[in-house]
């Protein structure tokens, strides 16, 4: 997890569980109080504004907010609270998400990202809970280091269809 200046300010550990994806989040240097957290659609954390991460992960086309009647986004998470020293040590559950394959996967495509907000997510306002600016971002990518490769077209197949 990195702040707008590119400094590492913590870690996020993601674990597959029967209920979704468990997120163990440890951060430092925050303003004491509540901060919104959400999984965003692109694994691209370019500071200082982290707009590169895209919108909240929302494969179902629902509304934003854990308290919204037509929500939430798949990527919506509860707020975390930074203590008086600016530290966060939280365990969150991303219900419905997975680290396996599929449209609800956090590793779909190039991956996704985890973004922490300046302010508290109110759980109902569109599109992001009125939570101020993006202050911390971490890219969520497969740690296997094995990118699936596309099968190249076999040129001999094309030749087989030609008359000599």
Minimum CB distance to Zn ion, residue 157 (Å)? 46
136-155 residues in contact with Zn ion (CB under 5 A) are none
The answer to the question of residue 68 lying near Zn ion (CB under 5 A) is no
The answer to the question of residue 64 lying near Zn ion (CB under 5 A) is yes
The answer to the question of residue 122 lying near Zn ion (CB under 5 A) is no
Cβ contacts of 49 within 8 Å, gap of 6 or more? 4, 133, 134
CA nearest neighbour of 19 among 87, 69, 81, 92: 92
Give the total of residues touching Zn ion (CB under 5 A). Answer: 4
State the binding string over 5-44 for Zn ion (x if CB under 5 A, else -).
----------------------------------------
Distance CA 123, CA 104 (A): 21
What residue has token string 């490769």?
149
Which of 76, 135, 138, 140 touches Zn ion (CB under 5 A)?
Answer: 76
Q: What is the largest CA-CA distance in the chain?
A: 80
Mark the segment that binds Zn ion (CB under 5 A) among 5-13, 66-74, 84-92, 105-113: 66-74
Cβ contacts of 50 within 8 Å, gap of 6 or more? 4, 113, 115, 134, 137
Residues near Zn ion (CB under 5 A) are 56, 64, 73, 76
């Amino acid at each position: 997890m990195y702040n707008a200046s590119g400094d590492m300010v913590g870690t996020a550990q993601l674990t597959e569980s029967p209920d979704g994806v468990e997120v163990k989040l440890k951060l430092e240097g925050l303003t004491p109080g509540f901060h919104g957290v959400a999984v965003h659609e692109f694994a691209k954390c370019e500071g200082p504004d982290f707009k590169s991460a895209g919108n909240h992960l929302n494969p179902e086309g629902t509304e934003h907010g854990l308290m919204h009647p037509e929500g939430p986004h798949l990527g919506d998470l509860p707020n975390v609270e930074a203590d008086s020293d600016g530290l966060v040590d939280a365990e969150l559950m991303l219900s419905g998400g997975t680290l396996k394959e599929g449209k609800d996967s956090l590793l779909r495509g190039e991956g996704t990202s985890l973004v922490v907000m300046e302010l508290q997510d109110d759980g109902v306002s569109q599109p992001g809970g009125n939570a101020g600016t993006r202050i911390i971002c971490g890219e969520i990518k497969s740690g296997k280091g094995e990118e699936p490769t596309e099968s190249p077209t076999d040129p001999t197949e094309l030749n087989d269809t030609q008359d000599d």
